Chain A
């Protein structure tokens, strides 16, 4: 190492020292500690007691844990693809416009900056079984359906009916795809126009152009949004926490992170909560790896 390199390295380390300290104190230490706590019985008030795989064994026999895991995977299985398709289509539509693009973009984006507590309040009101806006709109539709089919459908109780609590959360989540739309739109604007023009000359219709040009060219961004989607869906917390405390009827909407939070801060089972957190971490890694593996062949990198 020359003297200059040594001096530069020292200067650089000084510049990045805030991050180094933060990494040690707020990431590496908690990471190691939480792994340790996951093998202990820990209530924060007294010292952790080593119980080996105890928490993980408890988890295997904990029906509520499995239920929350199922609910979360159910939510993710619908919310991620629906969110990706919807935001991609909105971005494609926005990209078609010549005028008013920024106005429309703003309207789609605004919901995603509304404070989550306010979002939960809005949904609590809109999804209300008695006087919610959604059921007001649904009432006449159901009357018409009943008249034609002879059924007896009534506006449902969205936040209590165990078959509807998860769909309610999925619908609520779809409202905040604004960030994904903006990311998609930016990447769509980078697709060279000449590609579309030549495809059009070759006689390709709009659907073919979308599928054979747009989708492959923005595939890295689709992949990026997919990964972000997985990470966010598994950590879905605020809306279910406020909207459906204790997971509503039969814990039908108890999300993984909400149950984890309850274990940590309501039941003071910090060890168990840490073990749950590590299972979640593992799950995210596996799902991300799976998504990467499955999509590798389909992602097109312009430079590569």
Chain B
């Protein structure tokens, strides 16, 4: 046993070091659980939380900036509220913007008549007979029957003086589901339905229009939404209020919904995950099978020149990938494989040098006698390989499979070189695309997405720790 002070020093240093090393990961997970403003706060927010207060007998979530120093229960604290005007249509309130002439809010005198702006879209549901009755070229009719029939479709009414529609009809521009323009058709005016938009995306869509209405002030309703809805609701009104410090409650509130939101915002998360898993499966199977066969040939059979050729295996490990990168790209391009997943898994069916080396080390430790007896009994080498060596080498094969899984899951250079279409992207590329599209601002969602792609490897590591560590240790000791 060591003297006490030395032990204390060792553990102190280790605790410090391990703390420092874990900090970025802890910070990633904590940030993934925060709302947007707490991810950017100064001083930093460690624990995701929410502030609530009571306004007009209702508990509402508010935004709190800097707190006064040494507050008492009655110290006034400025808080921020997210509010939205609702304009009643058929009993339902739809989000509306109060026009500047009628600026109203807390503290602004109430007038009876105000102007409000609402966002609307027109929907058309075409049936076959309407399409057939349209005075349009056959090609357009085909397109309309193929794309536009039997669904509620958002349209924009076009007023084109050069090309007026027949009486009782209006010219409508139709859009695809992604919001891009498709084609124009004359549609009976009676078929248009009006719907009000309630989300930011709907309001921003190219087919939406705004309408201005006169409204009685008394009909309008100012609703207070949770502060988390900040920058997510349309026509939001940010208001400040002062509340006594004592009425504020701070509670821990991890936003697990961030994971769902970041998956939604990555657009094709399911596709990315599927591609990544397909690649992992194919590369793991390919590497394990081919490397085991090759390692067997290099260890359990005696033949002249074996060790010299094995030297070549080791030598290939020294070649840096950039040297092979350009010709490989040109080769796969020639084969028409660029833009497919194939360049990322086919080469793995031809044994990797490192894995051959690892497995050969292991195969050499299997005693000769075990296979010699089988050989004398007339067993073929393939049989010996499958029946004796493979079962004994399961731990080593496991290590190779694990390493390959991690390598494929984490790979970035391969996918960025060979993959061109978003449908083929892996999670790593999907995450980068998400980041560059967002311009890097929603850190809580970026950290949530990073957590999602990191978590599987960490979980896998925890379940397979022993083989993993043994595999890495083996790399060094025999090198």
> Which A residues are within 8 Å of any B CB, using their own CB?
1, 5, 8-9, 11-16, 18-19, 21-23, 25-27, 29-31, 33-34, 37, 42, 44, 90, 93-94, 96-97, 100, 102, 104-111, 113-118, 121-126, 131, 133, 136, 175, 179, 182-187, 190, 206, 220-221, 224-225, 231, 234-235, 237-238, 242, 257, 260-261, 264-265, 270, 273-274, 276-278, 280-281, 284-285, 288
Contacts and interface: CB of A to CB of B under 8 A. Distances in A.
Contacts of B446: 121, 125
Contacts of B373: none
Given A1-B304, A235-B322, 7 more contacts: A15-B301, A15-B385, A44-B329, A115-B457, A117-B429, A121-B450, A277-B325
Interface of B: 2, 6-7, 10-11, 13-14, 17-18, 21-25, 27-28, 31, 40-44, 290, 293-294, 296-298, 301-304, 306, 309, 312-313, 316, 318-331, 333, 347, 349-351, 356, 381, 385, 406, 409-410, 412-413, 417, 427-429, 431-432, 435, 440, 443, 446-447, 449-451, 453-454, 457-458, 461-462, 465, 469, 472-477, 479
Contacts of A190: 477
Contacts of B333: 44
A122 B410 contact: no
A231 B318 contact: yes
B41 A187 contact: no
A137 to B, nearest CB: 9
B17 A90 contact: yes
B294 A19 contact: yes
B42 A131 contact: yes
Contacts of A175: 21, 24
Contact of B11 (A97, A183, A234): A97
B18 A107 contact: yes
B413 to A, nearest CB: 6
Contact of B330 (A44, A106, A110, A183): A44
B26 to A, nearest CB: 10
B324 A26 contact: yes
A23 B316 contact: yes
Question: Which 6 A-B residue pairs are closest in the complex by CB-CB distance?
Answer: A22-B350, A15-B297, A183-B476, A186-B473, A33-B327, A30-B327
Contacts of B451: 118
B462 to A, nearest CB: 8
B28 to A, nearest CB: 5
B328 A30 contact: yes
9 contacts: A9-B303, A23-B350, A27-B324, A31-B324, A106-B462, A115-B454, A116-B428, A117-B429, A117-B450
A18 B469 contact: no
Given A11-B381, A175-B21, A29 B431 contact: no
Given A97-B10, A183-B473, A277-B320, A5 B303 contact: yes
A101 to B, nearest CB: 9
A107 B351 contact: no
A270 B10 contact: no
Contact of B304 (A5, A11, A184, A261): A5
Given A22-B351, A277-B326, A115 B409 contact: yes
A31 B316 CA distance: 10
Contacts of B454: 114-115, 118
Contact of A126 (B27, B312, B321, B381): B27
B371 to A, nearest CB: 13
Contact of A111 (B24, B309, B473): B24
Contact of B321 (A13, A123, A235): A235
